[in-house]
Amino acid sequence: MHWLAVPLLLFAATAFADLSRLDIDGDGRISKAEAAGNADMMTIFDRADRDRDGRLTQAEIDAYEKRMKSRSASAGGTKGRAPPREKMRIK
């Protein structure tokens, strides 16, 4: 398993559970400033921010999660199954 896979899988298993609390201004996106208090989020922020606008949308978060599941499965990790968790939704 790649050395970075552990923090990324940890993020997928924990940080998605309640990210809506990070959306302080309620705009439906997580900015770097809003994510600054969450170490797991800061670890993956730039990888998840595909359009490089400095904000994560629900679509970017979902796509990042899908990529991590795919990488884990191809590495023989969870064989396509994510660890149990709640799906994160930005309100």
Residue 30's DSSP bridge partners are 56
Between 72 and 16, residue with greater pLDDT: 72
**pLDDT for res 5:** 54
**pLDDT for res 31:** 94
Domains and CATH numbers, the chain: 5-74 (1.10.238)
pLDDT in tens, 1-60: 455 555 555 555 445 545 678 889 989 899 999 999 888 888 889 999 999 999 998 889
